[in-house]
Amino acid sequence: MHEELIGLLPEEPTRRGFIITSLAAGFALAVQPVAAQTVI
């Protein structure tokens, strides 16, 4: 049962994961204003 609980914990942050998350967040922030203008 202890192994099942360990599987629920998030993995250790890696440099690769941090870069991917940063790129995804930057892309979302860059696209957001354009999407907001098209709705109005």
pLDDT (mean) for 10-22: 81
Q: Confidence band (pLDDT; 50, 70, 90) for 32?
A: low
Specify the pLDDT at position 26: 86
Q: Give residue 27's pLDDT.
A: 87
Q: Which residue has the tokens 């049962």?
A: 1
Give the phi and the psi of residue 5 in degrees, each rounded to 5. -70, -35
Rounded-to-10 torsion of CA 23, 30, 38, 36: 100
CA distance 19 to 14: 9
Say how far apart CA 30 and CA 35 lie, in whole Å. 10
Provide mean pLDDT across the span 6-29: 80
Q: Where do the domains of the chain lie?
A: 11-39
Distance in angstroms (rounded) separating the CA atoms of residues 21 and 14:
11
Q: pLDDT-based confidence at 21, cuts 50/70/90?
A: confident
- What DSSP designation does 9 have? S
Tell whether the model's pLDDT for residue 4 goes beyond 80.
no
Provide the whole-model pTM.
0.46
